[in-house]
Structure 1
């Protein structure tokens, strides 16, 4: 047949081409094509076992990263060749390799000449480089599969039922080497060592590195991390710890003070790692820490002086009980939940945002339990002008949007990836995602809808009699189904009621765990799981026993947040110093010391107001309002924006940046607003300068107001001299001293 005819045939669909070929030459077939007569293809001999695409070929592609997001697994593939991400859709991958591109990727008559082989071995130019060596086991498997006719399945093909890591806990010394071993179990009872075909990823490669063969190499310093092993759609995790080589003194932790179960579980973990506790924090540091953590403000001079002078052994517990019943507690914690739930006012309307914020604050005024808070929110209905909680469904308008928010916020499960494909680091599939989203399929709305940037109308959220959620690939209508367990929806009821019951059930420990983890992170500087709302097997907790115990404690208290806060802040662990010792300087996970962090933007802004005795002025708020009472970020505040207030126009709108920055330092140093408040005629500096207080008393008040402590001897002597030597410029000296103290890390950072 002429080259010209083949050239013409190459421009038409292959089915048409075959018909034309049959007309031109009744005995002709495309030489070597996968469409060649399968009866003419060599069959495996007795010495060559049948090769399965799903069990043998796909694992090779996954192990070499061919179907990774950076290569052919990305949304549109690479250079016209697309595979499903990480091999989660075997039918799609088979069609891509065997049938797409007119079958040119495989050459049955000469397997070694196949484009798939030539590219993988870099015998032809390949952007990904050489992935497979000629003569290797992977090479032999691919060649044998093509020679056998590239079958989709083989006779009596089993399926993978589970994968296990032979050893899941490793205790290594610095620079020590060990080996992971991964075994796959099949439905016919057989097993296979798949170590060389498994993908590995260490959460912290500075602690432990892992190569493609599963070899672990411990780093030079003590630490711990998790190593993920993924074989096809099965994921397992191994935990690796590198304790200190030097041992603690005998009975060290038997001698440490213990307030409750939190100390027991933290000490157990630290003892395993041979890490020593930092010294206890001073009374003044504990005082400032608990005030800013629990009610979001620094103590007054009188409050600080009273606590520091008291010798009552029960004064800490009495203080915590007092703080939990202060009105500031409501605004401080409602402000944090507003961060998590706050919608964009340009999208949902300013009145809806105000009502939403008021609803959140009302829950804390009523001291509503956490499970009831969640139930009221996810089952909300009614007018967005009457029931602020219904604004959730004005903002999130499709079942998949609501499902993403609810799963991450109340379960700590980030389902977003499963919206488009199987989750790459978890077990959740598209079926799981859209079945969960189906609980919100019957949410109906009446009203003017949205009209950004000005959405001022009222909207009514109600339960509709219809509303299906379909699988985006199969178009199957999916019944509401939880991520695990059962949550059946009785006929004629709101599906969200069944979801709320399942979600808040004691059998669903995700619900309690994500909240105690979020609260623990706020109080201790870092979550037991980090990020706080990403609970998954490949992101394990640093102390699983502690997270479990806190969750059980929270459940048994009736989901009482105040009780949980009290348990944490009265533990000995909470009151440790942030100053490291030689054993715990590298500890970032186990709470052997307090982890320093910058004060929340609103807390710092209110501290400036309290210290200077000048109030901030906010538009759309009453005079003397506090920063944590701001109900929308459309209310302008350069200070709050500078110190990490999230932007409602961004996605996600709750994202705060906790890190300190040069901009923040420059703002404190150069802000004309802050300088004006320090030098105001109504400021603390002006009042102190005009008073008849001695320089010593004046310095003492400044230290109690700004640092919640009394000055040491050197500080007292130096500051007194500044004020005394200033003479008639006493006020200027006081103002300058205040400015310097407010620009110090001790004021900005929670120690």
Structure 2
């Protein structure tokens, strides 16, 4: 609706008069009782405290409406209200104040459109009888004050109840309370926004009413109000209770088992039985050294009758040099740059530094400190390559916070994080730790970048807030850090704060990564997104693992040993009637497809034919590759990271038709199986009987002996012809490699 010049002039005069009159009156306008419960609450309507929550509650400043980059129909608000000055100006002053009519508030576009009195793209948002409408109307009538002197700050919000175990009732009404710096509080249930992380398990409506269905599990309900969060947990157990004696009789090897059994008890879920010993054997080799056991190793373990052989195997594998290569390759995924951007020699130097740290079993806190505070040349100190690749404070902020603290700050770079407590000031204050990095050399010059670059600490460099232009001092995301001397490397203070035993997120983030690698699923998913609104499936266990990691001096091997010694690690993937639904609570094993490098190295081991890689020494293994730029159709088919992606890189764990077709039709695989230097030829020329041949093949591919049915079927096949013995063995091995039992870690 457009206004003519006379209407605009009258509008301006009316606005002026209302503001003058309102400025002489204090304490006249009180909030509706539904919005302000405490009599001590500061009177008057404050834009930040009272108006912004309404705009957020009704989605006016959301990304789908006026909060998107260019707004909607000429009217733009900051996303989720992160910039109140901008929003106030857009409402009151933008377009010559056409959105507000102070003398006749009901006729303001700001009210008439959401109330559907005028055409509105968003439709009816609220009616004239709603509390939100009345608050907005009263704010306009009072002269649209930007702020009310003495308005207290919002400290926190709480939700009540915090948790409900739904046994019979299928719904729960939440109450959200805001607490302010002057000791007052108010019920903000109607002005909070709600979101469930598992809507099929527990859904929530706009009024905070949680409704659960028939699915078993837990869901976290986020209540958000004015940038603060509270979380309600809905727990829906199976209807049939399980006797206490069943849980008390479960094996407890360590505290992990106790905490898992406790969680399963709340859901009335029974864990699966223990896995067969060959499955534990295969898991242990895959998880620790990144390959299958050889036939000889499998046979020796299966025939061993000594007690405690499981723990002895774990100790043996952790001492194997292949451990360092396998686990270093995982961390290289997260840090490895594109060599066409930073240079081949710098990338190799970085890879060497990472692998050396794992070979020395360097404590994790020392590893991170050395990386974060690196100085020197990229050819001499590989860790410096991080700062050659990430060249600005904001780039370093996102990777450091996500990798080492499990905090995804990318959103806070431009606006307040929609699911976190962090805003722009938090982002750029953290970025200030990296503001004084100096560089000497030619820098990056893709696609060659061949020169060495030197990183040093400069005495200049600041980070400014993008809106206020204020120079921000370095400040951690939470808690307190030590004061920084003027001539001190700011990164040293950052590393000390990050790796402190008091910083729970640092230890928990790494513990969650290790748990996800070993158990098939993180306690928090994604593994680098730890926040109140994305809670762990077992918060007590995550706390415990983080504490254990700290208590054992950030020793990664010790953390792996501890997890693998639990009974939970040794459960079968075979579900029972109570846990078939479970994908989060570890009542059974979750099968996962083998990592690309594990697959290829195991194929080479079984066939006896090594792979040949460019830019690598002869007989190098896939887990030793220093860049994903080294070509391999097999590794690409099984979803190694795209070399053009920025770290941290996430591998796609799903199986695909491409992978199946590659295993069935790969010329390279066929050549390995039929090679004259390979394992099949040796078997065919050996004196082994058909029974022994079948045992050898099953031990090589599956780490077990065949059962009676498999043995009988294999004998029928291999006894077809003595003249084609080699060809029959080739086909038999090819068939074994093209099965889920080979492709998956069970």
Q: The TM-score by the shorter chain falls in which range? A: over 0.9
Native 8 Å contact 1:175 1:217 kept in 2: no
> Shift of residue 58 of structure 1?
1.9
Distance 1:589 1:53 in 2: 43
1:590 to 579, 582, 585: 585
**Residue of structure 2 in register with 1:510 after alignment:** 505
- Corresponding position: 1:127 with 2:121: yes
- Corresponding position: 1:651 with 2:646: yes
Note closer, same or farther for the CA distance 1:47–1:389 as it changes in structure 2 (3 Å cut). Answer: closer
Distance 1:232 1:194 in 2: 10
- Corresponding position: 1:237 with 2:231: yes
Give the secondary structure class of the aligned counterpart of 1:184.
Answer: strand
1:181-204 per-position Cα deviation (integer Å, ceiling 9, x unaligned): 101123333322111111000001
1:278 to 272, 276, 280: 272
**Residue of structure 2 in register with 1:711 after alignment:** 706
- Corresponding position: 1:671 with 2:666: yes
- Corresponding position: 1:623 with 2:604: no
Give the secondary structure class of the aligned counterpart of 2:380.
Answer: coil
> Shift of residue 692 of structure 1?
2.1
Q: Please identify, of 648-657 and 602-611, the stretch whose mean Cα deviation from structure 2 is larger.
A: 648-657
Aligned pairs (5 A) from 1:543-692: 543-652=538-647, 654-692=649-687
Native 8 Å contact 1:33 1:103 kept in 2: no
> Shift of residue 317 of structure 1?
1.2
> Shift of residue 30 of structure 1?
3.5
1:441-473 per-position Cα deviation (integer Å, ceiling 9, x unaligned): 111110011111111111011111111111111
- Corresponding position: 1:536 with 2:517: no
1:275-296 per-position Cα deviation (integer Å, ceiling 9, x unaligned): 1010100000000001000110
**Residue of structure 1 in register with 2:327 after alignment:** 333
Distance 2:172 2:721 in 1: 68
1:141 to 111, 114, 135: 135
Aligned pairs (5 A) from 1:260-659: 260-484=254-478, 485-652=480-647, 654-659=649-654
Give the secondary structure class of the aligned counterpart of 1:239.
Answer: strand
Note closer, same or farther for the CA distance 1:686–1:101 as it changes in structure 2 (3 Å cut). Answer: same
**Residue of structure 2 in register with 1:179 after alignment:** 173
Distance 1:152 1:34 in 2: 14
Distance 1:217 1:175 in 2: 9
**Residue of structure 2 in register with 1:34 after alignment:** 15
- Corresponding position: 1:747 with 2:742: yes
Native 8 Å contact 1:174 1:222 kept in 2: no
Native 8 Å contact 1:174 1:219 kept in 2: no
Native 8 Å contact 1:145 1:151 kept in 2: yes
Note closer, same or farther for the CA distance 1:185–1:653 as it changes in structure 2 (3 Å cut). Answer: closer
Native 8 Å contact 1:41 1:108 kept in 2: no
> Shift of residue 653 of structure 1?
5.8
Count residues with an aligned counterpart.
Answer: 730
TM-score, with length taken from structure 1: 0.94
- Corresponding position: 1:257 with 2:251: yes
Note closer, same or farther for the CA distance 1:490–1:116 as it changes in structure 2 (3 Å cut). Answer: same
Native 8 Å contact 2:11 2:102 kept in 1: no
Note closer, same or farther for the CA distance 1:296–1:592 as it changes in structure 2 (3 Å cut). Answer: same
TM-score, with length taken from structure 2: 0.95
Return 5+ residue gaps in structure 1 as ranges: 11-27
Native 8 Å contact 1:29 1:36 kept in 2: no
Distance 2:4 2:11 in 1: 15
Distance 1:649 1:47 in 2: 59
Distance 1:396 1:382 in 2: 15
> Shift of residue 505 of structure 1?
1.0
Note closer, same or farther for the CA distance 1:472–1:682 as it changes in structure 2 (3 Å cut). Answer: same
> Shift of residue 528 of structure 1?
0.9
Native 8 Å contact 2:29 2:138 kept in 1: no
Distance 1:339 1:145 in 2: 54
Q: What RMSD over aligned residues (CA atoms) do the two structures have, in Å?
A: 1.9
Native 8 Å contact 1:377 1:390 kept in 2: yes
Native 8 Å contact 2:481 2:493 kept in 1: no
Give the secondary structure class of the aligned counterpart of 1:726.
Answer: coil
> Shift of residue 175 of structure 1?
7.2
1:212 to 202, 206, 212: 206
Distance 1:476 1:746 in 2: 60
Q: Please identify, of 685-694 and 524-533, the stretch whose mean Cα deviation from structure 2 is larger.
A: 685-694
Native 8 Å contact 1:31 1:109 kept in 2: no
Q: Please identify, of 91-100 and 702-711, the stretch whose mean Cα deviation from structure 2 is larger.
A: 91-100
1:601-656 per-position Cα deviation (integer Å, ceiling 9, x unaligned): 10011111111111111000011100000101110011111111101212346221
Native 8 Å contact 1:382 1:460 kept in 2: yes
Q: Please identify, of 716-725 and 687-696, the stretch whose mean Cα deviation from structure 2 is larger.
A: 687-696
- Corresponding position: 1:116 with 2:110: yes
Native 8 Å contact 2:399 2:648 kept in 1: no
Return 5+ residue gaps in structure 2 as ranges: 32-43
- Corresponding position: 1:246 with 2:227: no
Give the secondary structure class of the aligned counterpart of 1:34.
Answer: helix
Distance 1:33 1:749 in 2: 74
Distance 2:371 2:149 in 1: 53
Native 8 Å contact 2:337 2:646 kept in 1: no
- Corresponding position: 1:700 with 2:681: no
> Shift of residue 82 of structure 1?
1.5
Native 8 Å contact 1:32 1:107 kept in 2: no
> Shift of residue 45 of structure 1?
10
1:49-87 per-position Cα deviation (integer Å, ceiling 9, x unaligned): 543323332222111111112211222222221112212
Note closer, same or farther for the CA distance 1:614–1:120 as it changes in structure 2 (3 Å cut). Answer: same
Note closer, same or farther for the CA distance 1:156–1:516 as it changes in structure 2 (3 Å cut). Answer: closer
> Shift of residue 40 of structure 1?
5.9
Native 8 Å contact 1:160 1:184 kept in 2: yes
Native 8 Å contact 2:690 2:715 kept in 1: yes
